[in-house]
Chains A and B, each alone.
Chain A
Amino acid sequence: MLIRHTPDLRESEVTDRRLYLDRRRFLALGAGAALMGAGQAQAGPIASYAKGVVVLDDKPTSKEAITTYNNFYEYGTDKEDPAKNAPGKLKLRPWSVAVEGECARPGTIALEDLVKPHRLEERIYRMRCVEGWSMVIPWIGVSLAEVLKRFEPTSKAKFVEFATLADPVQMPWIKSRVLDWPYVEGLRMDEAMHPLTLLATGLYGEELLPQNGAPLRLVVPWKYGFKSIKSIVRIRFVETQPRISWEKANGREYGFYSNVNPEVDHPRWSQASERRIGEFRRRDTLMFNGYGDQVGSLYAGMDLRKNF
């Protein structure tokens, strides 16, 4: 007997994302390729996503600022470097992610297959950089927890480690050993499974641009920006706390947790205030970047001075 599923069809889900991506690839290989460089995917609008809510007082930062003021050392250490260097260099398709470690279903999965089963949604988050500036960014992505569950992490999976692509051809700047490449980040399992944690594929209604960590990046809004690792190629479930890149570079200044905390200063500068990009006066930095109600319980009983 034929069972008819009544699909819970949203207007936004009419175009299948894979078809949509195929169409885009086709276009990119056609007329676009001649202009944009062969095989280079163009950033286009994202077919569908659930709209996010703008919290009062947190007007999204201009798209221009978000896409031209970046820290992405694989493309140079000046803020303007990634926007200049990454487009055209970072090859966005095909992209796959290796999922490894303490899970029942490891394997390498194409980006499209990683994201497709999940609902894309817009999340308007504050982003606080450890350097003392901040933005408000309308991300588009999927819940990291939902994605991770599919790989069935075992009871030994206590942490998740992420790695950025480290390809000297696509990223010639990594030849200067500013950091120990590949860039590695990590979360405790409960942080990774927290509903606020996002695996982003877009911002401002469009696919991520290379300088923002295309095609797939992490967004952990209550932690300093460097925790939100860009251009992810590897996700590994591990039993012990991973050593993250900035901790390796300078463990006295950067710790594994790196929660936004106005009371714990960076050894060289105060974290009590921040400059919101687009504003003139500094504003006070909020505990957990203002997400304390949601995430504070994750750290109950922990000495946040020691676990900075």
Chain B
Amino acid sequence: MERRLKPAVFLLCLLPLAWLAWRAWSGDLGVNPVETLNRYLGDWALRFLLIALAVTPVRKVTGWAAVMRLRRMLGLYAFFYVCLHLASYVGIDLFFDWSALAKDIVKRNYITLGMLAFLLLVPLAVTSTNAMIRRLGGRRWRRLHMLVYPIGMLGVAHYWMMVKADIREPMLYGAILAVLLGFRVLDRVRRRSGAAHAAAPGR
């Protein structure tokens, strides 16, 4: 059962893409297909980022250790959907208009932040192999991969800032991110005070 978990989740993570492909093929991307495509891929990039960030809290709360084996894959899926989102923006929305892209990155804050989030994700994807973890050493690797916290914040900010007036949906993503990051802060504080107690018995 646990052995089949990973392949099953692997396929599950392809479902949003399959659904998109089906909609595109059957001409169901709506009146503004370019916008639909871009938004859809962006939504899923952010969702996978949050799903990957949920792995550790889920393990700590439920004690389900096997979930940790999914963490790398989910993180790479987040990167995968981020790449598709970026590709649809550059290749389809802007149609490889590089000067327009350069202007957007410099002038549009939400695009600046989105691009920064993508650039920060690249080293995390590159160092996701076992060989790279060994080469970096666990401690340095873990420190590098803490970048995913600011990346999550950049992702939510990127979405929040592009919305015209109705911020309820980005607020929801922001709230989920706050819970996931807040859990880590609390967990750390608790462990520290626990360690302090253990170090000073009888006090």
Contacts and interface: CB of A to CB of B under 8 A. Distances in A.
A69 B32 contact: yes
Interface string B105-125: 001111000000000000000
B103 interface: yes
30 contacts: A64-B31, A68-B31, A69-B30, A69-B31, A73-B166, A77-B166, A79-B30, A80-B30, A133-B32, A133-B35, A176-B166, A179-B165, A249-B165, A268-B109, A268-B110, A269-B104, A269-B108, A270-B100, A270-B103, A270-B107, A270-B108, A273-B100, A275-B34, A275-B35, A277-B31, A277-B32, A281-B95, A282-B94, A282-B95, A282-B97
B73 interface: no
Contacts of A268: 108-110, 161-162
A67 B103 CA distance: 34
Interface of A: 64-65, 68-69, 73, 77, 79-80, 131, 133, 176, 178-179, 249-250, 265, 268-270, 273, 275, 277, 280-282
Ordered nearest first, which 10 A-B pairs have the shortest CB separation? Answer: A69-B31, A77-B166, A65-B31, A178-B166, A178-B165, A268-B108, A277-B31, A249-B165, A281-B95, A269-B108
Contacts of A69: 30-32
Interface in B67-91: none
B168 interface: yes
A250 B163 CA distance: 12
Given A131-B164, A178-B166, A268-B109, A79 B103 contact: no
A68 B30 CA distance: 9
Q: Is the interface of A mostly helix, strand, loop or mixed?
A: loop
Contacts of A179: 165
Interface size class of B (residues with CB under 8 A): 20 to 34
A80 B97 CA distance: 29
B43 to A, nearest CB: 13
A280 B34 contact: yes
A268 B110 CA distance: 7
A252 B112 CA distance: 20
Contacts of A80: 30
A248 B104 CA distance: 26
A281 B108 CA distance: 21
A210 to B, nearest CB: 17
Nearest to A130: B164
Given A250-B165, A270-B107, A282-B94, 11 more contacts: A64-B31, A68-B30, A68-B31, A69-B31, A77-B165, A133-B35, A270-B100, A270-B104, A273-B100, A275-B34, A277-B31
Nearest to B168: A176
A61 to B, nearest CB: 9
A73 B163 CA distance: 14
A114 to B, nearest CB: 30
A69 B30 CA distance: 8
Interface string B31-53: 11011000000000000000000
Contacts of B94: 282
A275 B161 CA distance: 21
A73 B35 CA distance: 19
Contacts of A68: 30-31
A55 B35 CA distance: 27
B166 A79 contact: no
Nearest to A70: B31
A77 B39 CA distance: 15
B168 to A, nearest CB: 7
A73 B161 CA distance: 19
Given A268-B109, A269-B108, A270-B100, A275 B32 contact: yes
A181 to B, nearest CB: 12
